[in-house]
Structure formats: structure tokens, C-alpha cells
Amino acid sequence: MAFYPYLFFGGNCREAFTRYQEIFGGDLTLITVADMPAEEQMPEASPDAIMHAALTTEDDQLLMGSDDATTGGFAPVHGMQVNVSVSGVDEARRVFAALAEEGEVRAPLEPTSFAAAFGMCTDRFGTPWLLTTDEGPDDT
């Protein structure tokens, strides 16, 4: 069994996932409304809206999302965070800085009792992130 986050965006899914690919690497697949068979297209959605985005990283992690073309009432994420665990404090600093750029740092990246580095931020697309290292506080 596996759990994978599926994120919704208010029209900027392509921009967000392009940025996530820059940060995390991996293979990015973007399917637009126009790419869908005519009978599956939503007439109220822009042809350029992303129906499905999938970012698969080198270690087979998967992040998915789309533009919220069905409800018309997009709102930022509440009540959850996307957790990402990276190897090493240097990598944590790089990823955290990239995610927090033009966003909001909610807890600075610092050593804790449970990880060599831990921090929380909301990126410029409204996605809340919880970043930690694979290493514990005594592993560095």
C-alpha cells in the first residue's frame, strides 16, 4: 500500500509542478484538458488547464496534482502538509530554501530532538511543506 499526495491548484498547476521538478528532479507528466478525449473534457475548463500532473522522482516517489477545474472555488490547502524527507542537512537546506522562496516560513529549518534538520513552510503556490532529514540528531 502507498499513499501519494494529490494537490489542487487555482490555475497554476503547470507552474507549480515545473518548479517542483526543478527542486526534486524526476520525470514530469502534464495532461491538459485539451489532451483529453472530447467526451471527457469539461466544457467549463480552459483547454490549457492541467487535468493531471505526475512527478515521479528517481527513488519512485510520486507527487500528483491538477488545476481545480471542477469546483470553481479553489482555496489553499488546510489541515495537512506534504512531508518530504531528504538525505543530509545540506540537501535539506537546499530544498527548504527553494520551497520557501517567495512563500512563508512557518518553522525555520533547525536541528530537533528527532531529526538533524526539520522545518515547515508554505510555498508560493499555497502548498504547505514539512521537511525533515532521514538522519536523526546524532547521525550527523
CATH of the domain spanning 6-67: 3.10.180.10
- Is 82-133 assigned to CATH 3.40.50.720? no
Looking at the chain, which residues constitute the CATH 3.10.180.10 domain(s)? 6-67
- pLDDT for residue 70 is more than 80: no
Q: How far apart are the first and last CA of the chain?
A: 31
Q: pLDDT-based confidence at 132, cuts 50/70/90?
A: very high
Higher pLDDT, 90 or 43: 90
Looking at the chain, which residues constitute the CATH 3.30.720.110 domain(s)? 82-133
Please tell me the predicted confidence (pLDDT) of residue 40.
Answer: 75
Mean of pLDDT over the chain: 90
Distance in angstroms (rounded) separating the CA atoms of residues 138 and 65: 36
Q: Between vectors from CA 36 to CA 125 and to CA 11, what angle results, nearest 5°?
A: 20
Cell 530537533, residue located: 112
Rg (CA), the chain: 16
Higher pLDDT, 98 or 38: 98
Please tell me the predicted confidence (pLDDT) of residue 45.
Answer: 75
Q: What percent of the chain has a predicted confidence (pLDDT) above 90?
A: 64
CB neighbours of residue 1 within 10 Å: 2
